[in-house]
Amino acid sequence: MSLDAAAASLHAVAARFATGAAVATVEPFSGPAGHINASYIVSGRAPRDRPIRFFLQRLNAHVFPSLAELMENVKRVTQHVGGPLRLVPTRGGDACLQDEHGDVWRLYDFIEGAVTRPIATAADAEHAARAFGAFQRALGDLPGPRLHETIPHFHDTPRRLESFECAVQRDAAGRAAGARAEVAEIRAHRDLAAVLVQAAAAGAVPERVVHNDAKLANVLFDAASGEPLCVVDLDTVMPGLALYDFGDLVRSMATRAAEDERDTSRVRLEPELFESIARGYVAAMRELLTPPERDLLVPAAQVIVFEQAVRFLIDHLEGDRYYRIARPGHNLDRCRTQLALLAALLEQERPLRRRITGI
Ligand code: GN1
Ligand code: MG
Query: How many whole angstroms separate alpha carbon 73 and alpha carbon 67?
Result: 10
Q: Name the domain boundary from 49, 84, 112.
A: 112
DSSP string, 204-242: SS--EEE-S---GGGEEEETTT--EEEE---TT-EEE-H
Q: Name the domain boundary from 112, 140, 163.
A: 112
Question: Do residues 255 and 334 both lie within one domain?
Answer: yes
Query: How many whole angstroms separate alpha carbon 85 and alpha carbon 356?
Result: 32
Number of structural domains (the chain) is 2
Whether residue 5 has pLDDT greater than 90: no
Question: Do residues 137 and 8 both lie within one domain?
Answer: no
Question: Do residues 22 and 159 both lie within one domain?
Answer: no
Question: Do residues 92 and 152 both lie within one domain?
Answer: no
Residue among 29, 35, 260 to mutate when testing ligand 1 (max atoms within 8 A of CB): 35
DSSP string, 46-70: EGGGEEEEEEEEE--TTT-S-HHHH
Distance from residue 37's CA to the centre of ligand 1 (Å)? 10
Angle at 118 between CA 267 and CA 347, to 5 degrees: 25
Residues with Cβ within 8 Å of 63's Cβ and at least 6 positions away in sequence, in order, are 36, 151, 322
Whether residue 32 has pLDDT greater than 80: no
Whether residue 117 lies inside any domain: the answer is: no
Whether residue 69 lies inside any domain: the answer is: yes
Question: Do residues 85 and 191 both lie within one domain?
Answer: no
Whether residue 304 has pLDDT greater than 70: yes
Residues of the domain holding 22: 3-112
| Helix (H/G/I), strand (E/B), else coil: 23 | strand
Query: How many whole angstroms separate alpha carbon 33 and alpha carbon 49?
Result: 29
Helix, strand, coil: what percent of the chain each, to 5?
50, 15, 35
Whether residue 80 lies inside any domain: the answer is: yes
Question: pLDDT tens-digit profile of 230-286?
Answer: 999 999 999 999 999 999 999 999 999 999 999 999 999 999 999 999 999 999 999
Question: Do residues 185 and 285 both lie within one domain?
Answer: yes
pLDDT of residue 1: 67
CATH number of the domain within which 236 lies? 3.90.1200.10
Distance from residue 112's CA to the centre of ligand 2 (Å)? 21
- For residue 31, name the pLDDT band (cuts at 50, 70, 90): confident
Q: Name the domain boundary from 81, 112, 143.
A: 112
Q: Is the separation of the CB atoms in 196 and 157 below 8 Å?
A: yes
Question: pLDDT tens-digit profile of 50-107?
Answer: 999 999 999 999 999 999 999 999 999 999 999 999 999 999 999 999 999 999 999 9
Give the pairing of strands 50-58 and 38-46. Answer: antiparallel
DSSP string, 255-322: SSS-TT-S-GGG----HHHHHHHHHHHHHHHGGGS-HHHHHTHHHHHHHHHHHHHHHHHHHHHTTS-S
Count of CB atoms situated within 10 Å of the CB of 51: 11
Distance from residue 165's CA to the centre of ligand 2 (Å)? 25
Question: pLDDT tens-digit profile of 147-206?
Answer: 999 999 999 999 999 999 999 999 999 999 999 999 999 999 999 999 999 999 999 999
* Predicted model pTM: 0.96
Residue type, 290: T
CATH number of the domain within which 12 lies? 3.30.200.20
Question: pLDDT tens-digit profile of 122-150?
Answer: 999 999 999 999 999 999 999 999 999 99
Question: Do residues 278 and 176 both lie within one domain?
Answer: yes
Mean per-residue pLDDT of the chain: 97
